[in-house]
Structure 1
């Protein structure tokens, strides 16, 4: 049991420290204030912690709930809503409603599964590209602040891959301390607080942010999360998990809760052999993950304040480094499928272009362009002749 408890703690600590910067960057980009971002980080941390605890305890399998890192990255690359953060909050709520509907209406889930994985991954890779280049642009502008973070990340990637991004964040803390920026934090209020933003309904923002947020979370998080648990012999409670994540996302959207989902990468730690030899006891790791997340929740105001005080480019560097692995996996999956390679390439370049049409951003148009390409190339086409 001790091994499972430790695995759960590692799952939560690595999951939090390796991608919180992406969450803050995403919320900031769509108009959240520092207080709004801190509130959002708090509610997603607490709701995913509660989800890990409840599902693992009741199902006796190591279920992990996580925030949608690809979804946060999508926000960081999205078109800024004309109506500000309130429009984005409305889009968060729409994504939550769609998760709930998918959990309740099975045909909707089946329809999502029919979206070519290559196209969804191409859209994600295109969105991530601009974020992943940030560390290398920043090191040119701020070499003294950014280079140490890059060096620590690279060295840890070689000797302790799992801790590379947390180590980069630790290096960033050293840089922030050395810069003297923490004096701005010391006098502030670091108690966790919730801020309310009444959502507004803007059709363009719903299409540009809400729908892609739902699709990228389903295709790159929920569905892979089921597959990861299945690879260790567990049957994931997908429908109940979608209902939980849908209800909590809708309920917490005004507080900044942008999206939570079944864990994929985190599931590999808490459901695998690192959580113990006995698969029937690994559920303890899921409980431990949940408890650890809930203990980390009150620290979110401090984390947000430290991030805000960082020298220019440092936190963007941590966020970009956190997403390089995701970018590589998405790009490989998108372009590795011979049957969809050209369509995926179209979706990728459209997403990476950052174009905006009628207030709707590139993520939506990328999926549309890739889908149209597939239809034009395949509808009515004769099957290729069999090789002799």
Structure 2
């Protein structure tokens, strides 16, 4: 406790608030899209928040480094774009377990981690952009469907983005919650039964769901979260061994999956808040920011029922609008990464278009086929060259 500081604690509390408020709507949207009931979605959100909070506390105290952990926001967007598998939510849970097992293997078996890292960044970014496109169009749809409410959310986001970008999405969440609370569009908020209850789901291991959901979930989690998370730590002067970190996040993903949690991983944005100089001038004392952030996530996890009640009471288009605003930055970064390399641009565009089309063959969603099509085009172009 001699290394504890109020500055680091404040940074950790801010990181937990931003991390939860900016993307919980995306998580709920993704879980519901793959067949979760309201109770199962609340359970999944609670399991995710508690798992990533405990994982951050364990890793940070163990290594005395600010190891921030988050849920896979790109993974949640993937779920929202995938739709319900043939086996329903139990098949999705089986895919979550498959993804967690792959993350553990990536931490144990270095060649798998290197293989994921060797996927061209242009294709990984193009697949992520294709996954995010549908949700990023939601704010425009919300304005068209519910002009007053949609415009209020978008304007709140835009004004706060101009003043302090990090608070833009939380501001949009607050405005949306206020409208729901006031019964916007004739909707009232049910206040009963808002305490979340863990719902244990018996997994079904369906090969189509594991390939169509589990494998792309693993790829976007590694490429868009774990690898950038390691980069943020290295930029701030920390050099942890990646294998044990991947292993631990994979184990917590496996523990949370039966309760509806899709994946936890190293954080990137909130990692910068906890590992940077704003957390504390002394690099040796910043790990308390990640520890306090973990405690905050556990507390927010216990409020998952209330968050789910708000989402259930709202017109779906408003929740999709908030989720879309939360993902605009990720979409822009993915598009830039997809087309920045001239020689890979054609393959990246094919990956993006096939993924965004939402096509499915043999029950396997578009993300897998997009990566396959783009990879084939890339291999062909390099073979010709």
Query: What TM-score do you get using the length of structure 2 for normalisation?
Result: 0.97
Query: Counterpart in 2 of 1:134?
Result: 138
Query: Counterpart in 2 of 1:148?
Result: 152
Partners of 1:169 and 1:12 lie apart in 2 by 15
The 3-state SS of whatever aligns with 2:22 is: helix
- Check the 8 A contact 1:60/1:283 in 2, yes or no: yes
- Check the 8 A contact 1:120/1:367 in 2, yes or no: yes
Partners of 1:49 and 1:143 lie apart in 2 by 37
Unaligned runs of 5+ in 2: none
Query: Counterpart in 2 of 1:11?
Result: 15
Query: Counterpart in 2 of 1:333?
Result: 337
User: Structure 1 228/318 Cα, relative in aligned 2: closer, same or farther at 3 Å?
Assistant: same
- Check the 8 A contact 1:79/1:359 in 2, yes or no: no
Equivalent residue for 2:226, pick from 219, 222, 228: 222
- Check the 8 A contact 2:65/2:286 in 1, yes or no: yes
Query: Counterpart in 1 of 2:177?
Result: 173
Alpha-carbon offset, residue 30 of structure 1: 0.2
Structure 2 counterparts to residues 1-388 of structure 1, below 5 A: 1-179=5-183, 183-186=188-191, 188-379=192-383, 381-382=384-385
- Check the 8 A contact 2:25/2:319 in 1, yes or no: yes
Query: Counterpart in 2 of 1:386?
Result: none
The 3-state SS of whatever aligns with 1:273 is: coil
Alpha-carbon offset, residue 247 of structure 1: 1.6
- Check the 8 A contact 1:94/1:210 in 2, yes or no: yes
Partners of 2:312 and 2:107 lie apart in 1 by 37
Count of residue correspondences: 380
Alpha-carbon offset, residue 48 of structure 1: 0.5
Alpha-carbon offset, residue 226 of structure 1: 0.4
The 3-state SS of whatever aligns with 1:275 is: coil
Unaligned runs of 5+ in 1: 383-388
- Check the 8 A contact 1:63/1:236 in 2, yes or no: no
Alpha-carbon offset, residue 84 of structure 1: 0.7
CA deviation string 1:15-63 (max 9, x = no partner): 0000000000000000000000000000110010011111111111100
Alpha-carbon offset, residue 182 of structure 1: 7.1
- Check the 8 A contact 2:156/2:168 in 1, yes or no: yes
CA deviation string 1:154-201 (max 9, x = no partner): 000100100000000000011112226674412x21222001111101
Alpha-carbon offset, residue 318 of structure 1: 0.6
The 3-state SS of whatever aligns with 2:59 is: helix
Partners of 1:267 and 1:245 lie apart in 2 by 15
Partners of 1:304 and 1:197 lie apart in 2 by 18
Partners of 1:122 and 1:312 lie apart in 2 by 27
- The alignment yields a C-alpha RMSD, in angstroms, of 1.2
User: Structure 1 69/312 Cα, relative in aligned 2: closer, same or farther at 3 Å?
Assistant: closer
CA deviation string 1:338-364 (max 9, x = no partner): 121111011001111111111111000
- Check the 8 A contact 1:343/1:370 in 2, yes or no: yes
